[in-house]
Structure 1
């Protein structure tokens, strides 16, 4: 018999002893109360770790997380890993203004080789739609769209809303900003480059009036013309 069992009141069976006195009932209740308190204290300690047959705290399953879905889309090419519009414009602010009036969400980085727009919409043919809109709205502007899909780099020239000649990426890298390749392969990001002192302008930070003011400061308009009929200086 355990020490705990020895503390429990014993009840006799049979005869008049079946009727408990008030004193015996109080002793029984006191014993049960003490046993309950001891069990509760032991249970709180056990709850600190996983119970037998029960798993402990589960870690996030990478197969069901949103990050896995996004990574899978990138691996199979449904979503580009990175997409850039490379131009010969001297001003990243001007490129951001062009992106704003073309409804393109991008961060534009400045470089002596030409401003570069880092596109945010990477789903499906979003990058192609962006460069098409940009070169349609800004007549005469030529731009190179460079995309990383499923770790395959593609570079193609766009003019007046139409795609043209494709270029081997190494040829482009030789004549573009030094950070273009790093952005495409994931060796750098916008925050890293701005921390290094590269000027950046977000098209989302401009409204249309601001964008038109920037464009006006860089372009010469013909009478009655708009940005599509102006000449970029």
Structure 2
């Protein structure tokens, strides 16, 4: 089964745009779990322009499914994650001014750094995942870091699928097959939506978790959060 983890960053963006505490991110996390989501994802950034570090702490006692914290492992992020001990940490090489994640790690270049960071997280009982482009040598590199999982960066797939090019899934299939052979777990995320998730799930083997935020929140404006979560779950659980 592929688990659905809901990224709630956009709820924090909406809250911050007005000030105050509406919508409340903790209540939203509780609601998406009640509606059937199997995980909650957040991606705090150093400027706290959406999810704040305090949000990450406040969510800890309320997330009873999988709690996934994404981010660039600078010292403040490292300290935050180790203090919270979520289910999973996903390492993303964000630039400080990045609007959203826009590339996977060059694992070959940053191998030693990632080994040290991953070792520290694993010593604290936190499952690790590395955000990667669908490139075979990067999957091989991920294995050498000691990570538990990879997260396939799916923007390229989503773009090609939107153009009607279903061949865009092929690099993801090849990388997933290699990851399985290497004993790595597989997550996926970025620009996945109700339109493209079923085809991805049907064709890419071994995906254990998808993290979906922007599209899910946007779709919920028209269809309702509870309904949209059920729609994703149905697509993820449909037999190939």
TM over 0.5: no
State the TM-score, normalized to the length of structure 2: 0.28
State the TM-score, normalized to the length of structure 1: 0.28
Q: 1 or 2, which has the higher helix percentage?
A: 2
